[in-house]
Amino acid sequence: MVETKATPLETFRSAAQAIVDQIHHETESEAHRIFRNHPGHGRDRDKKEEEHLPGIKHPGSTGVIYVTDRASANGFYYGNPEWGNLGQGAPEVGDIPGAVPKPDSIDLKRFGDAVHEYAPGTGTTELRKAVANYYNETYRKNQPQKYGPENVCIVPGGRAGMTRVAAVIGSVNCGYQLPEYTSYESMLSAFKNLVPIPTVLSAADRYKLSVDDLKKEIKGRGLSAVILSNPRNPTGMIIEGDELKELVMTSKQMGATFILDEFYSWYLHEGELGRAVSSAEYIEDVNETPVVIIDGLTKNWRCPGWRVCWVVGPKDMITALNQSGSFLDGGASHPMQCAALEMLDLERCKQDRIALQKRFRAKRKHVLERLEKMGLPVVVEPQATFYIWLSLESLPAPLNSGLVMFEELLREKTIVVPGQSFDINPAHRRNIIDSPCEKFIRISYGPEIEQVDRGLDALERVLAKARSPDSGHEFNKGYKRTREEEDVLDPSSPQRPSKK
């Protein structure tokens, strides 16, 4: 008789099944109770309890805040060499082979005393010209119309750019898709006259936005604006070529403003080295096509701390953004705008793109191979970005929950982001378990490979605990908490007596 060897996943499942139970409701799970008790995560009817200061309301914590708070409760601090931070959506910032070394000083004298003044609300003219030139030379060689400085607004970071844009969208329905970079949800909700309308993308469609479906949404739901990241965080999917061209044309044909977040436009894992993707390639009339592009030094240039980003679009949009910026953020740092000029040198950009793609394609391959070996193959492999949207569905409960896996990895000094963070305000659900993002985590391979490996080793250790039921390890029990979390702890928790 031929003996068939069990796959790592089968062995794992049969061993672990005996010791764990399926979670049916959030109240049965410690990881979920901790999530629910976090400031801003209470359901609407619980909200009153959170209003400790007159008139002050938590807007709901973004994924990053929740993840960092929970990691700190487990002993994490930035720079702790024992930890693997695969949660933060930032790329490694040090010099990488083949890339132009990062500047290590700024000679402010070169820019005269004016560098200490406020910069204009839309940014310095020099930087606006450099950004327009970058788009014209990289993407618009075949387009007769070019961008000028009047089409560029410099902003202090991507989120600031997005907030400036959200502040000038009128009382309209604004569409976005899920899973998506969740700052959008909080940001759009902060502007009360704008109605955010989410739609859910499915794994069966490889989380790809179909332009035909989008057209139906625009018509059926009366969308006047649509916001999307392309390439998409967290799934790593991208719309390019003819599809992207059609998307751009749809904006004009259907009279809807598209806000395209192109922060990962260099992180491409397919095709020729050194290429980049932007909707700018397909925009014919720069002042009439209602497409607004947001990008900046945060991801592609690997300088998230510089806080120099830009919005590119019709000149009417730029004058509106000047107005919203004047009360929202006051503009990007003047010295950093001066320093950014050399980062937009076209030769430098090309060289850095090649170096970045070599580095990140290798990291992606490495991570996918390790996950496959662990018995956790990635169903929808990322085409772009540095994220893996990892389904835990094949694992036995409770490890198939993103929130439980997140807590178990924190015990092993590793940070990932639970899928919940990419849902439409999951805290509003009656039962968080029902979220379509419940069985996912997002793994970032942005950090250097040693750190990525530290995180993957931790994932292996968590799986190993589940494979050995005699290890005595109890999943989803006894997680560390901060003082604040203990103060609001669900009294039903067996962990400690209630303080309430």
Which residues make up the interface to ligand PLP (CB under 6 A)? Answer: 89, 157-159, 181, 229, 233, 261, 263, 296, 298, 304, 309
Q: Does 398 sit behind a cis peptide bond, omega within 30 degrees of 0 on the bond before it?
A: yes
* Tokens coding 250: 């749809």
Q: How far is the CB of 350 from ligand PLP (least distance, A)?
A: 22
Pick from 86, 80, 74, 64: which is nearest to 453 by CA? Answer: 86
> Closest separation between CB of residue 181 and ligand PLP, Å?
4
Nearer to ligand PLP, 159 or 208 (CB): 159
Judged by beta carbon, residue 12 or residue 266, the one nearer ligand PLP is: 266
Q: How far apart are CB 231 and ligand PLP at their closest, in Å?
A: 8
CB of 179 to ligand PLP, least distance (A): 11
* Minimum separation from the CB atom of position 227 to ligand PLP (A): 10
C-beta of 156: minimal distance to ligand PLP in Å?
A: 8
Cβ-proximal residue to ligand PLP, closest one: 158
Closer Cβ to ligand PLP, 186 or 482, answer by number: 186
Q: Which amino acid is at 148?
A: G
Closest CA to 292 of 275, 316, 328: 316
- Smallest gap from Cβ 64 to ligand PLP, in A, equals 8
By C-beta, is 229 or 235 nearer to ligand PLP?
229
Quick one: 299 or 353, whose CB is closer to ligand PLP? 299
41/186 Cα distance (integer angstroms): 12
Calpha distance 7→428 (Å, rounded): 39
Nearer to ligand PLP, 187 or 433 (CB): 187
CA distances in angstroms from 315 to 139, 151, 226, 244, 468, listed in the order given: 19, 5, 19, 22, 63
Residue with tokens 């639970």: 418
Q: Which is nearer to ligand PLP, 37 or 229 (CB)?
A: 229
Distance CA 387, CA 88 (A): 10
Q: CB-wise, 445 or 479, nearer to ligand PLP?
A: 445
Shortest distance, CB of residue 297 to ligand PLP, whole angstroms? 8
**Which candidate, 227, 252, 107, 119, places its Cα nearest to that of 173?**
227
In the complex with ligand PLP, the residue whose CB is nearer, 158 or 398, is: 158
Would you state the structure tokens that stand for residue 336, as one six-digit string?
Answer: 């950093």
Considering beta carbons, is residue 89 or 455 the nearer one to ligand PLP?
Answer: 89
Residue (157 or 455) nearer to ligand PLP, CB: 157
CB of 233 to ligand PLP, least distance (A): 4
Q: Minimum distance between the CB of residue 267 and ligand PLP, rounded to whole angstroms? A: 11
Cβ of residue 308: shortest distance to ligand PLP, in angstroms?
9
